[in-house]
Amino acid sequence: MDTQTLVDALGLERLELNLFRGASPKEETRQRIYGGQVIAQALLAAYETLEDRVCHSLHCYFIRPGDPAVPIVFEVDRSRDGGSFATRRVVAIQRGQQIFNLAASFQVEEPGLEHQSPMPDAPHWDSVSDVTKDGSRRTGPIELRPMGGALGGVASPGEPVQQLWFRARDPIGPDPRMHQVILAYASDMGLMSTAFRPHGITWRTPGFQSASLDHAMWFHRPTDFNEWHLFHQASPSSSGGRGLNIGYVYRASDGALVATCAQEGLMRIRKA
């Protein structure tokens, strides 16, 4: 699937003023909907009810596993339209039940005081392979180059930190909102597995159960997601069957911090 196919697949059909219908990409092979997809579509649904505002933060919960074979209905609540900020709540529904909800805040663009943490050191993307450990080349609408070649955990314990370079594989187009939407789609890639690393577990570890519980994102600066970005990820804590992960997205060309993500995921070892 190329990037334009992804953009088309994320598109929504308007059913009513605040009601939209979306679907999973036809090429989808997962048994449940990829979290980044429903984040991106919910953000798009909110944008359909706004003009001249840009999302600066979103907070969402994954409530039930989504079925890629079933259409998703997105219901938007126009919570508030203020002079500078607007708030939207979006509920994603399948078979009459909520599978996901999102709250997002949008702002009229304005100048302001600026500071940021510096971009961490990382190998240049040209020196990082896009070939997986099994020898296959990574494909898909998002070009991924993880340091160390692995996403999804490691077989022996290590530091709770991982890095990857990523960008949209093909041109997204001129709409800055779509660059934000595709970045939100990509922000779920590998983030939760950062918390696996201190424990030496992977998605395939026998008896291991995992699932995304929530996801938050703050957009600090507009960016062109056709450029390379560094996704620096760290997990400060895991406890109570949950792992917390923080991700920082830096633009390679100037080191600008363009977004910050946070995600908590279920981490459970089932006893035989």
Across the range 243-265, mean pLDDT stands at 98
Query: HSE of 24 in the Cβ direction (CA atoms, 13 Å)?
Result: 17
One domain, residues 142 and 267: yes
Per-residue model confidence (pLDDT) at position 136: 67
Per-residue model confidence (pLDDT) at position 73: 98
12 has pLDDT over 80? yes
User: Which of 28-37, 73-82, 253-262 is the least confident region?
Assistant: 28-37
Structure tokens belonging to residue 44: 């798009």
One domain, residues 133 and 80: no
- 244 in Cβ contact with 236 (< 8 Å): yes
Structure tokens belonging to residue 220: 């600090």
One domain, residues 11 and 81: yes
Query: HSE of 206 in the Cβ direction (CA atoms, 13 Å)?
Result: 2
- The angle at the Cα of 205, spanning 122 to 167, to the nearest 5 degrees, equals 30
Across the range 12-26, mean pLDDT stands at 95
Q: Which long-range contacts (CB under 8 A, 24 or more apart) does 248-251 make?
A: 248/117, 249/183, 249/187, 250/119, 250/120, 251/223, 251/227
Regarding predicted confidence, which is higher, 184 or 140? 184
Tens-place pLDDT, residues 156-208: 898 999 999 999 999 999 999 999 999 999 999 989 999 999 999 988 899 99
Nearest to 40 by CA among 22, 56, 64: 22
Q: Which active-site residues does the annotation give? A: 188, 212, 263
Q: What is the pTM of this model?
A: 0.94
Domain-located, residue 11: yes
One domain, residues 101 and 139: no
Q: What percent of the chain has pLDDT over 90?
A: 81
Element housing 85 (H / E):
strand 85-94
User: Which amino acid is present at 250?
Assistant: Y
* CATH code for position 205: 3.10.129.10
How far is 101 from 115, CA to CA, in rounded Å?
A: 31
Domain-located, residue 161: yes
One domain, residues 129 and 247: yes
- 25 in Cβ contact with 33 (< 8 Å): no
Domain-located, residue 115: no
154 has pLDDT over 70? yes
Looking at the DSSP bridge assignments, the partners of residue 58 are 104, 217
User: Which of 22-26, 133-137, 149-153 is the least confident region?
Assistant: 133-137
